[in-house]
Amino acid sequence: MRAVLFCVVIPIFTMTVSLQSYAETLSDGTLSGQSESRKVNQHLDDLQQVINAEQSDDDLLREMETRLKDLHRQVAKRLEAKIEKKVPAAADSEPKDLGKWWLRGAMTYDPMPSGILNRLELSYTYKRKTGNLTMDNSMLKAALATRYKRFTSYLNYTFDKRNVGKPNDDYDPATNQWVEQNSDIRDSTRHLLTEELRFALSKRFYTAAGFMYEEDDYVKLDRRLTGYLGVGGKALQTDRITLKLFAAVGHEEKDYTEQYHELAGGISEAILRIVAPSYDPDTVKSDMVYLAQNFDWHITKNLSLREKLTCFMDLEESDDYRWTLDLGLALQLTKYMSLTFDYKESMDNTRDPVMGRKRDISMGPGVRIHF
């Protein structure tokens, strides 16, 4: 600024001295009137230009200062925006209370949780009945739900063991007394492993692929493997009630135990065609339609009711179908433990007398642990 003023003051001072010199000359009458008048006017114009230039410089400096302040504010705002974009506010963006997320769709949260969610649930049910028949039934269930963004995995395992005996009086010669003894009627185990991977299409709809593996020696089933692919959705969703529907097509393969084939081999062909018209000594393969319906009702904060109905139907043989109804009432005692009462009924129309009963029912109290 001082340099600018210095450059402006010197020319003004020089021109002022020149004008004074011209004025003295005019007063002495040494110059001609008209010629010298033009020179004076020219010097006055030059002086005015210098003055205007000085004022323009001041305006320019003020404008540059204003522009620098605006530029500083713009740069500061851009830096703040970049910092906020690179450093996510995890505590504010994540939903604080996800609730029962394994019952809700992934896209019902805004924003969706960015981390991996896990939930493990274990339940054990034991029943014992005495009388004309003595029955011990132990059932263990494990369920693991895992979610990452739109993907949710549901892995379930069920172990069911039943022992049924009938008391009989048998004479013991050593003691000369009648002794009550149990004769085994049923001693069986059942394993069921299922896995379903879902991908959320929207808040209500999803697509899923899964498989089921089952063993049940009571009905002479050595293995049954089912794979499927389908689409599901929520028909109803409130704070306490959830109703889900699912439809899929799949392929199924099953093999029966050696005991089943031995029993079938001991029956004449004529009778076998009547009691087991669909008997096949090899692996039975079929294309299936899989339908499922799930209903969850949280009656109160600690009391809930769940219901699940599944149905499998052969695409070629309409009489080959099976369905399972599973009901459960749970009373939550602590954060990690609940008391339950379960009712389960299953119907398999493909069974024949060699395999066992078509219909099976079980019920009883139990304990459920969840993490």
Indicate the burial class of 5 (C-beta count within 10 angstroms; 0-12, 13-18, 19 or more): exposed
Is the Cβ–Cβ distance between 278 and 244 less than 8 Å?
A: no
pLDDT recorded at residue 209: 98
CA distance 220 to 188: 10
- Do the domain assignments include residue 34? yes
Does residue 244 surpass a pLDDT of 90?
yes
Domains held by the chain: number: 2
Does residue 33 surpass a pLDDT of 50?
yes
- Among the candidates 40, 56, 86, a domain finishes at 86
Phi and psi torsions of 222, nearest 5°: -75, -45
Indicate the burial class of 30 (C-beta count within 10 angstroms; 0-12, 13-18, 19 or more): exposed
Can you tell me the mean pLDDT for 178-190?
Answer: 67
Does residue 34 surpass a pLDDT of 70?
no
Q: Are residues 167 and 43 in the same domain?
A: no
pTM exceeds cut of 0.75? no
Is the Cβ–Cβ distance between 325 and 287 less than 8 Å?
A: no
Residue 357 vs residue 261, higher pLDDT? 261
pLDDT recorded at residue 20: 52
Contacts of 365 (CB under 8 A, 6+ apart): 125, 127, 339, 340, 341, 342
Handedness of CA 90, 92, 97, 101 (dihedral sign): negative
pLDDT recorded at residue 91: 44
Q: Note the residue count of the chain.
A: 371
Does residue 308 surpass a pLDDT of 50?
yes
- Among the candidates 61, 86, 111, a domain finishes at 86
pLDDT recorded at residue 86: 56
Residue 205 vs residue 9, higher pLDDT? 205
pLDDT recorded at residue 125: 84
Q: Are residues 48 and 119 in the same domain?
A: no
- 289: domain range? 96-370
Does residue 226 surpass a pLDDT of 90?
yes
pLDDT recorded at residue 52: 67
Q: Are residues 22 and 54 in the same domain?
A: yes
Q: Are residues 58 and 182 in the same domain?
A: no
- Note the pLDDT tens digit of each residue in 70-102: 777 887 777 777 666 655 544 444 456 788 899
Q: How confident is the model at residue 177 (pLDDT cuts 50, 70, 90)?
A: low
- Do the domain assignments include residue 240? yes
Q: Are residues 286 and 336 in the same domain?
A: yes
CA distance 142 to 160: 12
Phi and psi torsions of 58, nearest 5°: -65, -45
Instruction: State the amino acid at position 136 in one-letter form.
Output: D
Q: Are residues 298 and 173 in the same domain?
A: yes
Residue 204 vs residue 164, higher pLDDT? 204
- Among the candidates 44, 64, 86, a domain finishes at 86
Can you tell me the mean pLDDT for 322-339?
Answer: 92
Residue 278 vs residue 242, higher pLDDT? 242
Q: Are residues 32 and 164 in the same domain?
A: no
Does residue 243 surpass a pLDDT of 70?
yes
CA distance 54 to 358: 108
Q: Are residues 71 and 128 in the same domain?
A: no
- Do the domain assignments include residue 91? no
Highest mean pLDDT among 28-32, 67-71, 142-146: 142-146
Does residue 64 surpass a pLDDT of 90?
no
Residue with tokens 């851009």: 78
Q: Are residues 82 and 100 in the same domain?
A: no
pLDDT recorded at residue 93: 47
- CATH number of the domain residue 143 falls in: 2.40.160.40
Does residue 328 surpass a pLDDT of 70?
yes
Give the number of other Cβ atoms within 10 Å of residue 113's Cβ: 16
Peptide bond into 365 cis (omega under 30): no
- Note the pLDDT tens digit of each residue in 5-24: 445 445 544 555 454 554 45
Q: Are residues 146 and 292 in the same domain?
A: yes
Residue 337 tokens read as 């433990």
Q: How confident is the model at residue 31 (pLDDT cuts 50, 70, 90)?
A: very low
* Among 27-41, 340-354, 357-371, the least confident range: 27-41
- Do the domain assignments include residue 50? yes
Does residue 215 surpass a pLDDT of 80?
yes
Can you tell me the mean pLDDT for 206-212?
Answer: 97
- Do the domain assignments include residue 290? yes
pLDDT recorded at residue 270: 80
Can you tell me the mean pLDDT for 237-263?
Answer: 91
- Note the pLDDT tens digit of each residue in 151-163: 999 999 999 988 8
Indicate the burial class of 22 (C-beta count within 10 angstroms; 0-12, 13-18, 19 or more): middle
Q: Are residues 138 and 68 in the same domain?
A: no
**Taking all residues of the chain, what is their mean pLDDT, rounded to a whole number?**
80
Q: Are residues 191 and 299 in the same domain?
A: yes
Beta bridge partners of 118: 146
Q: How confident is the model at residue 171 (pLDDT cuts 50, 70, 90)?
A: low
Is the Cβ–Cβ distance between 333 and 339 less than 8 Å?
A: yes
